[in-house]
Chains A and B, each alone.
Chain A
């Protein structure tokens, strides 16, 4: 995935009228089955990346699907124009502040990895039971959709303390945990915790400050080299079916995928 493409500010603003779904390929069988209906590569298999514009029913394609927006639009400016046009035709208006749910990842492990990829912090809603998680999640909605923090965090929830075992720092039973992911997203450090009854207005300044001071340097080739030498080996939930990707892994690790 082109890291700079999706941080284009014009594009980011143009996406606000749409529901943006970014799945982690190979991490959920149901999602894999769905993605296969959207796009398959020449080999007929699901490849590492998929892109599509869909209507709100989640079924009707609104253009050509492929591996990236370039299959349907000419460059990032073409994509921005396409989104603006679609938005104007449908008279869409951003409603991000009225959203009722957090944009969650499937689980803490995956969220930690994705936050590391995005080089942003992870917010975990921790609760003793689902009801508690739901209550705290409602209080955290403005962190996901508010002006100063929208898009600045990856979100996950858990009722299981075991899910936090790879994360170091003082754990809490109920509340919000802010985590800085490690280099490879397989560990993390708690940098702040907030009680369930946290005052968002008061906490916001601290959160914004924490996010601003979090800077990560990653260079693609050295990251891969270091990861292999350290024995980092991410296991996907479903088999990787991208032939080229498997060949690259085979070459670098000397094994068959």
Chain B
């Protein structure tokens, strides 16, 4: 019984974590990572800018937006 319960919990955990796996068939936004690089490209191409800024850390833990 306990073993079954552990298995069910483990499966549920894996299923919930699966939501965070990036599917590689997906297209992704092409981001310029510096202001100078992005502004130069906007000026060159005449295209408007989508500007976003975010901290690549949370509670000083890196590796997560």
Contacts and interface: CB of A to CB of B under 8 A. Distances in A.
The finding on whether chains A and B are genuine partners in a shared complex, rather than unrelated, reads yes
B42 A19 contact: yes
A202 interface: no
A104 to B, nearest CB: 6
A12 B28 contact: yes
Nearest to A249: B59
Report the contact-size class of chain B (Cβ under 8 Å from the partner).
Answer: 35 or more
Given A15-B50, A31-B35, A220-B64, A234 B57 contact: yes
Contacts of B65: 1, 3, 117
Contacts of B28: 7, 12, 118, 120, 150-152
A245 B20 CA distance: 23
B26 interface: yes
A172 interface: no
Interface residues of A, number: 98
Given A19-B41, A24-B33, A7 B49 contact: no
Interface of B: 16-18, 20-22, 24, 26-35, 37-65
Interface of A: 1, 3, 6-7, 9, 11-13, 15-26, 28, 30-31, 34-35, 38, 48-58, 62, 83, 86, 90, 92, 95-96, 99-101, 103-106, 110-111, 113-114, 116-120, 144-145, 150-152, 154-155, 181-186, 211-212, 214-220, 223-224, 227-228, 232-236, 240, 242, 245, 248-249, 252-253
